[in-house]
Each structure stands twice: as structure tokens, then as C-alpha cells.
Amino acid sequence: MIQQKVISKRFGKVDPLSIDSYIKFDGYNALEKALTMHPTQIIDEIEKSKIRGRGGAGFPAHIKARALANAKQPKYIVCNADEGEPGNFKDRIIMENDPFSILEGMVILAYATGAKKGYIYIRGEYQNAIKIMKMTIQNAIDKGYLGENILNKGFDFNLEIRTGAGSYVVGEEFSMIESIEGKPGRSRVKPPYPTDKGIHDKPTLINNVETFANFPHIILMGGDNYAKIGTPSSTGTKLISLSGNVKNKGLYEVPFGTSIRDVIFKLGDGVSYNRSIKMVQLGGASGPIIPEYMLDMAIDFERFENFDSKTGTGAIIVIDERFDIFDILLINMNFFVHQSCGKCAPCREGHTQIVNLLNKIKNHRGTEQDLMSLENLANVIQQTSLCGLGQTSMTSIISSLRYFRDDYFAKVRY
């Protein structure tokens, strides 16, 4: 099998509601080890591991950690469990199957950076995950792994659960901060970045669920050993949310460097009814759409950046020959029209115009000028939007214009 289970190795083996079950399977060994280390040593191990954020952007985790460690009190740590990107479900599955690993990772990072307060911001639709995480926090407090004087080491760290209300945009870090503060979930102009001015204008570190779940493994195996997994530019494993027209949909964990084709055919068992693949969307609705001939590409941060994309979210959506690319693009763009917070004009007005142009082209009413307008507008939205919604939502449009241009020409009137 091409899977290599690190994050998911406890799935199905531990009772997610039992801290004793977690402890039985090496749970909290990493925290106990971390508390014998100097805080800077912990960040050094994270740096040696070369781990990059698993939430989308792929930012080196040690840079955030060191920035927060050097910041003045008070400071905060936030776990982004909003996971509003269509096609992604890995964070929900971690919370529902191994929730204590997330808490352990957060406490380790809190000790390393000196943070005393944290939040887990969970998507409002994830009611089961919210219930589990609340029970997990209480169990950890009862056992002395969270709260005041953790493991009698004179170290305090308290956590609260905050929930979203169905908004996609609060998955963006500043929108999430605004929501945590009790304000409407709309982004801020940056810089400054959260590690300088985050919650209540105090230094704040934000990582996603999968990133925090990696930290205990890094501490236990050591950063150098962790870095041996995957590729030189993308170390460790990646959780892949595989969906669409494949036989075996589900969550898989593979080392970086595994090809997209292997995930689809060796883990997903290929396309149903042996239909051919028309296209694959990577990362969710805001990710690129690629043709079948690119499936041998390795899952790797550096490789994906060659076409202005990120591997962070890890979704692979397989779309077979029955589907028209314009139907897929319109589903994505109508979603973003609905989810835009409306704060900035490029996103607020631009997505509606993109939908109008796509409909015009799809129905053979578009001209070459409309095609040029679509391409220019997509680039403007991507480059001038305030937050990640507008900055990434055009990726599917831009990639489809690159790889499926013949589909556009077949619709345009000359």
C-alpha cells in the first residue's frame, strides 16, 4: 500500500471520547517529553522537521512559532477547524477520531511559545466534532493535561471552543479573528499579520487541525527523522480527501511525493464504470482544475507552486467524461458569489460578473472579447481582493483557461 499512517494511525483504534484510551496508544508522551525540553529546543525540532502548514498556504510552521515566542504577552494560539472548502473533510475526521492529538499539539506549541490562551474555531455544521472537542477539553483538564499548572510544571494554558455560523470566509485568518472577537467575519488589510496583531491586536498564531496533530509526532520521532518522510521540499505525510467519480471515496494518508494518479487508482480504485477522467480539481472549489495527462504529478508544495496552487488542503475531486467544465466552474463561482462577505469591490462585484460571462460563453453567446474579459477579470480579482477568498477563487478559472482552452474556443462565436 502507498499509505503511510502517521496522523491517522490511531483512527479506529482509540475511543475518541476516552483520554485513557488515547494515553494507552502513546498519547501525551510527546507533551511529557516536550516539558523536559527548553522551549527553543521544541521550535528547533519543528524547524528541523521542515513541516509546512497543512491548511492551504503551506507556510513554514517554525517561522510562525518563533515569531510568537519572541512576542510579548498576552498572546494567543488558534486552531483553525472551520474547514469550509468544498471537497475537504480531513479535519473533521481527525476531530472525530483522534481529538486529543490536536490538543496535545496545541499545548506543546503553547509551551514552546509561552502562550497562555487558545481557541479552537470549528465550523458550525460540524456538530458532532464540536461535541467531541468540548468533551476532549474537559477530559484533558480533569487529567491535568490542560488548564492550570499542567503536569505540575507551573505552565498554564486554557482553551475555548468557538463556532462559526456557516460562513466560508471565516476560514481566512483575519476573518476568523474578527469572529472570535464577536464581530462580523470580514477580513482586515494586512500587514500587520496575526503574529504581530491578531486577537485584540495581540500576537496570535493560527494553524489548522492537521498541522497541530503533526507536532506530537515530530517531538516523539525528532525533527530530523520526520524530515526523512516525503520529499526534500515537502516533508511528512498528507491527508487526502478523495471524492467525486471514484469507486472508493474517503480519507487517505500518503507521504508527500506520491502521485495524484496513484491516489486515484491505487487507493480510490479508479473511476466508476471505467469511464475516462475529464478533469481533476485539487484542493477544493478554490483549487486548480487539471487534465488527465497531469495526474502523474507528485503531491508536493514546490511542484504545485509551479502553477500558482497549494497542496495544503489536500482535496482531490475526480470528474469524469460526463461533465462539462462550464457546469463545474459555474457551481464553484455561484458558491463564491454567495460566500463573499462583500467588503471589497473586486470580490463583491467581480464574482457576479464572472458568472454572467461563464453563462454567456456556455450558451454559445460569448465572443472572443468576452473570453478576454473573463481572463482579465479573473486576474484582477485574484490580484486585488482583500482576503484569500477572492485571491484563490479564480484559480479554477485561470487554470481551466490554461489547460482547457479548446473547451472555451468550442463555445465562442466568431
Determine the pLDDT at residue 331: 96
According to CATH, the superfamily of the domain at 19-227 is NADH-ubiquinone oxidoreductase 51kDa subunit (3.40.50.11540)
Determine the pLDDT at residue 414: 73
The domain segmentation of the chain, as residue ranges, is 19-227, 237-320, 325-409
Q: Quickly state the pLDDT bin for 32 (edges 50, 70, 90).
A: very high
Q: Quickly state the pLDDT bin for 58 (edges 50, 70, 90).
A: confident
Determine the pLDDT at residue 312: 57
Q: How buried is residue 46: exposed, middle or buried, by Cβ count under 10 Å (0-12/13-18/19+)?
A: buried
Residue 59: all three cell numbers together: 507556510
pTM of the model: 0.95
Determine the pLDDT at residue 306: 65
Residues 42-59, mean pLDDT to the nearest whole number: 92
Determine the pLDDT at residue 166: 83
Cβ contact 279:289 at 8 Å = yes
For 290, how many CA atoms within 13 A lie in the half-sphere containing its CB?
20
Of 179-183, 241-245, 247-251, 302-306, the range with the lowest mean pLDDT is 302-306
For CA atoms 377, 55, 232, 229, the dihedral sign is: negative
For CA atoms 12, 123, 248, 279, the dihedral sign is: negative
Calculate what percentage of the chain has a pLDDT beyond 90: 86
In angstroms, the first-to-last Cα distance of the chain is 51
Is 253's pLDDT higher than 80?
yes
Residue 254: all three cell numbers together: 500518503
pLDDT tens figures, 294-329: 999 999 888 777 655 555 578 999 999 999 999 999
For CA atoms 230, 242, 102, 74, the dihedral sign is: positive
Q: Please choose, from the candidates 138, 184, 147, 181, the residue with its C-alpha nearest in 3D space to the C-alpha of residue 162.
A: 181
Q: Supply angle C-alpha 225, 229, 233, rounded to 5.
A: 105
Fold annotation for 237-320: Ubiquitin-like (UB roll) (3.10.20)
Cβ contact 33:219 at 8 Å = yes
How many residues comprise the chain? Answer: 414
Determine the pLDDT at residue 388: 85
Determine the pLDDT at residue 175: 93
Residue 255: all three cell numbers together: 507521504
Determine the pLDDT at residue 114: 97
pLDDT tens figures, 77-113: 999 999 989 999 999 999 999 999 999 999 999 999 9
Q: How buried is residue 84: exposed, middle or buried, by Cβ count under 10 Å (0-12/13-18/19+)?
A: buried
Rounded-to-integer distance, Cα 212 and Cα 33, Å:
16
Hey, is 384 helix, strand or coil? helix
Residues 379-395, mean pLDDT to the nearest whole number: 92
Average pLDDT, the chain: 94
Of 121-125, 157-161, 165-169, the range with the lowest mean pLDDT is 165-169
Domain 325-409's class? mainly alpha
Number of other CB atoms surrounding residue 258 within 10 Å: 24
pLDDT tens figures, 130-144: 999 999 999 999 999
